[in-house]
Amino acid sequence: MLACAIVRPFGWPEAVVAVPAAALAIVTGAISLDDALAEAERLGPVIGFLAAVLVLAQLCDDEGLFHACGAWMARTAAGRPRRLLAQVFLAASAITAVLSLDATVVLLTPVVFATAARLGARPKPHVYACTHLSNTASLLLPVSNLTNLLAFAASGLSFTRFAALMALPWLAAIAVEYAVFRRFFATDLDAGAQAPPTSDLPELPLFALATVACTLAGFVVTSAVGIDPAWAALAGALALATRALVQRRTTPKALWRSASVPFLAFVLALGIVVRAVVDNGLDSALGHLIPDGTGLPALLGIAALAAVLANVINNLPAVLVLLPLTAPSGPGAVLAVLLGVNIGPNLTYAGSLATLLWRRIVHAHDAEVELSEFTRLGLYAVPASLGAAVLALWASLTVIGGG
């Protein structure tokens, strides 16, 4: 399943192999039908949430939000590549946190290419920032990443407490990444650029911004009153979709495509297959490797294991495998897993599907990604940012508490 998701033979969607694989697991008895249905029921709200956020992000792009973001970056960078890198970090971190990592990879990366070209700056540092931050900056909110949604469901935390515990790790990881990028790409950042013309600045899409703000507020309110936050995401997507349909700027078919239904089917099928693998011995094999407790050494060990596993089998299966094993230890252990599976994938191409998708987008812009350079950057950034994030998580748990 993972190999086909990475290679995409004949351009097939991930679900073409994943759905039959899940059916095969049920037919052969690797997982019972009742357990498969239970897993589907558990993942159902998560998948619905993901679909709504994907539609919301695409509609924000249709409203011109990302185009306006690119114009803001170009204007405020004032022809300075180092300042542009800071603007890309700010924009990518905010977009990833609020609209998910898919928005950063699919929608922001082409904007960053265009912005760098407009300034005459070398695009590499800024484009690489998109893929690193699509993973690292997805730590803050439950909506930022599919792995977050799964961890949020397993942690038992409210939306606001999850965000409060992850705020300091989020800031720490981004700060370390920024320091590494400034050093690693010093030559590219010292190259010349030019200030863009100040005319023809796009109008800020206020309705889209207001909808996103109301959706975020809805996440907090629904979580506080015990309602699934997926309803808030659905309301935000419906508000933008209704406006776009009335103004004839989109179609029902386009909305259906933006929900990425084949990918949602892949996630559901992957959950069933991973559950079968876990129930047939992987849980006991990994159980011996997971440290006990939630002290700093234990959190470091859990995060490191999660990072390694994410690069071996991809971060989505890794989080599905590790959450049932760490949830009994409490929210601290679950969040440590999340740090590992979100930051760890910056080490290799195969660490996350978002990185693979980013690589395709880079190639579509006639740019090259060197494996050696990508890996060297990961070796500098991942251990340092993961260590800083775990230390920050331990501090947050100590001050705020994980209950």
233-273 pLDDT tens trace:
899 999 999 999 999 989 999 999 888 888 889 889 988 99
- Cβ atoms of 59 and 44 closer than 8 Å: no
From the list 56, 45, 8, the residue with the least C-alpha distance to 146 is: 45
Higher pLDDT, 58 or 357: 58
Task: Give the pLDDT mean for 78-106.
Answer: 89
pLDDT band at 399 (very low <50, low <70, confident <90, very high): very high
pLDDT band at 403 (very low <50, low <70, confident <90, very high): low
- Cβ atoms of 22 and 266 closer than 8 Å: no
153 vs 27, 131, 142, 202, 229, CA distance in Å? 28, 26, 9, 39, 11
The pLDDT of residue 8 is: 75
**CA–CA separation, 279 and 282 (whole Å):** 7
The pLDDT of residue 196 is: 65
Task: Give the pLDDT mean for 270-294.
Answer: 84
From the list 184, 98, 85, 86, the residue with the least C-alpha distance to 137 is: 98
Question: Could you read off the pLDDT of 170-208 as tens digits, one per residue?
Answer: 999 999 999 999 999 999 998 866 766 655 667 788 899
Residue 321 CB neighbours (<10 A): 22
Mean pLDDT of the chain: 88
143 vs 27, 72, 239, 244, 332, CA distance in Å? 34, 25, 18, 23, 19
For residue 142, give every residue at least 6 positions away whose Cβ sits within 8 Å of its Cβ, in sequence order, or none.
148, 149, 151, 152, 159, 162, 163, 219, 229
69 vs 60, 72, 74, 102, 112, CA distance in Å? 11, 5, 9, 16, 9
The pLDDT of residue 216 is: 87
DSSP state letter for 291: P
The pLDDT of residue 74 is: 82
The pLDDT of residue 192 is: 67
Residue 157 CB neighbours (<10 A): 22
**CA–CA separation, 68 and 273 (whole Å):** 42
Structure token digits, residue 365: 């812009």
For residue 63, give every residue at least 6 positions away whose Cβ sits within 8 Å of its Cβ, in sequence order, or none.
205, 207, 208, 240, 244
% of residues, the chain, pLDDT over 70: 97
Out of 37-41, 334-338, 352-356, give the one with best mean pLDDT: 334-338
Q: Which residues of 270-329 form beta strands (DSSP E)?
A: none
- DSSP assignment of 164-210 equals HHHHHHHHHHHHHHHHHHHHHTHHHHHS---PPPSSSPPPP-HHHHH
The pLDDT of residue 203 is: 79
- CB-facing half-sphere around the CA of 105: CA atoms within 13 A: 23
Helices 206-224, 81-99: inter-axial angle, 10-degree rounding: 50
Residue 370 CB neighbours (<10 A): 9
Task: Give the pLDDT mean for 19-34.
Answer: 95
**CA–CA separation, 220 and 227 (whole Å):** 10
pLDDT band at 72 (very low <50, low <70, confident <90, very high): confident
The pLDDT of residue 361 is: 81
The pLDDT of residue 349 is: 79
**CA–CA separation, 101 and 148 (whole Å):** 11
304 vs 164, 241, 255, 280, CA distance in Å? 22, 41, 39, 24
Question: Could you read off the pLDDT of 106-151 as tens digits, one per residue?
Answer: 889 989 988 888 888 889 999 999 999 999 999 999 988 889 988 9
For residue 248, give every residue at least 6 positions away whose Cβ sits within 8 Å of its Cβ, in sequence order, or none.
none
